[in-house]
Structure 1
Amino acid sequence: MNPETSAATVPLHVEAVSVDIAGHRILREASLSADGDVLGLVGPNGSGKSTLLRTVYRMLHPASGRVTAGGRDVWGIPAREAARITAALVQDAPSDLELTVAECVATGRVPHGRLLSADTVADRAAVQNAMKAVGVEAYADRGVATLSGGERQRVQLARALAQEPSILVLDEPTNHLDVQHQLELLSLVRRLRRTTLVTLHDLNLAAAYCDRIVVIEHGAVIAAGTPENVFTSTLLLEVFGVHAAVLSNPLTGRLQLAFTERNNL
């Protein structure tokens, strides 16, 4: 199977989700939806972006509200079944340094009933295609410990793709990647044509590769829409504390932002 075509589109809905941690409300009735598109989640550090993602891939149970995938409450189905629907690439993913790249990617088949080895034709194809899709097939027999941080990040994405999920949840997937690999990875994510929820610190990457943007601040969703509708100079000053000019990238025609400090104007 080709990871760019093997999964059906499944809609994701986050409905008025609130999350409490250690007695403090971190997320406040946050709602968003995506269906076959790339939805970018942006906001200042500590705004609640990663907390929201963790409710989607079943790491944090909402205090109220619900998350549905394909109309099914993700907290109302078995964990293994949920993992066949949604795969996550997270910042604190285990590095599996003792495994080879192929073995690490093969762990993505666990939700399908396999552990550490791809033991069917379908498993082997899923692992091989996932490695090829992110450009790590040449490293299949190398130990994960021998790779650079950026290469390990690509291996983690391959592991997520090996799950053959319908929904991808990506928490800062471009961390540790150089510019070339940032662009290549996000271009790949778009070509996958799957429902994707991704957090990004780089607003220009979000503008270039996301179909829609959700802005979260102090645990609440405060804006949602296309990059052109959301990334206004007023919002960028109020939320991110920077002056911004909204431009057009001369190479791609996509929205591009130029920034300066609040006190520079």
Structure 2
Amino acid sequence: MSLPPIARTAHRHLDVDGVRVFYRESLPDRPDAPTLLLLHGFPSASHQFRRLIDVLGSRYRLIAPDYPGFGHTRAPDGFTYSFDRLADVTEGFVERLGLTRFVMYVFDFGAPVGFRLAERRPEWIAGLVVQNGNAYEEGLSQGARDFIALRPGTPGAERTIRELLTPEGTRGQYETGVADPGLLSPDGWTLDQHFLDLPGRKEAQVELAFDYHSNVARYGRWQEWLRTHRPPTLITWGANDPFFPEPGARAYLRDVPDAELHLFDTGHFALEDHLPRIAPLIAAFLDRVRP
């Protein structure tokens, strides 16, 4: 009996402007394999893509970095945690790797990082895979709007953010909206919490939470980029996401009407319980786009 190939994955570091960026990179069988840059979300890191890399990494080159303040990446003392700076480091990471054309997978925080990258270097982007990565006002739940409205110095604001950084808050992001929580591995939220509990990490997340409004201010620019460049786009979306509900997925069709849209009966971390359905969609998309 022949088994489907399982990817070999290298685990490496790359220095970018004083940041020691950790990343995972699959080693496909073909040197000209299409490249997919995987941009993770909050409160996770590149480990959220481990199973996707196992499944697709023998046919495609999958690269997943950890941002500063996440996972195994180490930032120097005094690093300013903002979405502009996350994008700066990600842009430098791509340059250091020598990538010039790739499909970009944007999930959650990966959307504001990735769309900044697309604005700066549109020639790099051969296509988009969007998984619960929001770029539209209607894609914000009321809870998300209330969270984004928090400002430094406002009574209770930092406490509200820190409540999301607890084991209960981290686990809840995985389980909310999921039809069968038994399909979720506890390894995801357990590893996320391990990294959140490292020295300085909660402070980094508080800074990023207070900066999230800068992303909403850029939505119009990102929508204009989508309308202008019309990248081939695959949208796979957990429809029960408590932060970024289904209208955020459908909104992309205004600006990229040829996008392929798939909605799933699950929550924010759709890959966790719908990998068997999402991975083939990504493979077929990469075969069509051929970056």
TM-score by length of 1: 0.30
Point out the structure with the larger helix share: 2
TM-score by length of 2: 0.28
Point out the structure with the larger strand share: 1
- Structure 1 or 2, whichever has the larger Rg, is 1
Bigger relative CO (Cα 8 Å, ≥ 6 apart): 1
